Amino acid sequence: MQTLNQVKYLRAAINADKERGKRVALVPTMGHLHEGHLQLVRRAHEIAEIVVVSIFVNPMQFGASEDLDSYPRTLLDDQEKLEAENVHFLFTPSDKEMYPNGIENHTKVSIENLSNMLCGIHRPVHFEGVCTVVTKLFNLVQPDAAVFGEKDFQQLTIIKRLASDLCMPIDIIGVPTARAHDGLALSSRNTYLSSVDRARAPMLYETLKDIRDQILAGNRQYETLCEEAKQKLNSSGFDVDYFDIRDQNDLSLLANDAENSSVSILAAGTLGSTRLLDNIYLSL
């Protein structure tokens, strides 16, 4: 695996492979890699001959009061994991390399309607930062495919729309959420959880599954189901940002009795000082 931190070297290295007709897949990450990321890498190997992983803790997608400074940075450990997964190129740019004129002066990419809901209400600058950095990474690497986790379902939906709206010839591939033995969705931020909160955290997925089962059993009182789920989580120590049942494709909210065949149940909230999110989707 070659680790490169400058755009010009990354491009030269990848272009050599492209000229030989190789298909390239990109896995964008912010590092502190866990099994969920490694599953993205394995999926990338299935669809391309050359796998590029990026590790960049993107300051543009963090709000002023968020965890940019404390976000775990574990490059040596991440490199070992990626070597073991036979990754070809690891791109680890600095802030200066990605935003040479500073973040404030940089061109921004945003998709307003999909971003101004769910996590976007609680993290107002987040998706603009994600869309901008992902657009840059796509332009830098020019991959044939890019792989993202379904845990961040809103992010995945937004990136699919971004690639489609901006006519980027890139297949956007979602990979099912990797989970701990007790169902908790794997996330780099899980390391922030205290032992008491770690024991409570699986309740988020338990509650999603419970609501899914009630829908599968025929309950279409979507608003009521969400209200009950919120109350249950809030009374168990969560501070719920949202618990919504939405259309899986455009993320529009489903009212009671709505007829819809592809449904996503999405939830996010804070436990202690850790923000957790998760989702389940189902076809009816």
Interacting residues with ligand PAF (CB under 6 A) = 28-30, 58, 61, 130, 133-134, 152, 155
Query: Quick one: 30 or 140, whose CB is closer to ligand PAF?
Result: 30
Shortest Cβ 98–ligand PAF spacing (Å): 10
134 versus 271: smaller Cβ distance to ligand PAF: 134
SS3 (DSSP) at 243:
strand
Q: Which residues are catalytic?
A: 37
Looking at beta carbons only, is 38 or 203 nearer to ligand PAF?
38
Beta bridge partners, 173, equal 147
At its nearest, how many Å lie between ligand PAF and the CB of residue 125?
A: 12
Say how far apart CA 187 and CA 192 lie, in whole Å: 10
Tokens 């394995």 correspond to what residue? 42
Look-up of token digits 């935003």: 99
Q: How far is the CB of 134 from ligand PAF (least distance, A)?
A: 6
Distance CA 83, CA 64 (A): 34
Residue with the closest Cβ to ligand PAF? Answer: 28
- Taking the least distance from each CB to ligand PAF, the nearer of 98 and 233 is 98
Q: What is the Cα 228 distance to its own chain's centre?
A: 27
Please state the closest distance from residue 63 (CB atom) to ligand PAF, in A: 13
Long-range contacts, 98-104 (Cβ 8 Å, 24+): 98/56, 98/58, 98/133, 98/136, 99/59, 99/60, 103/59, 103/60
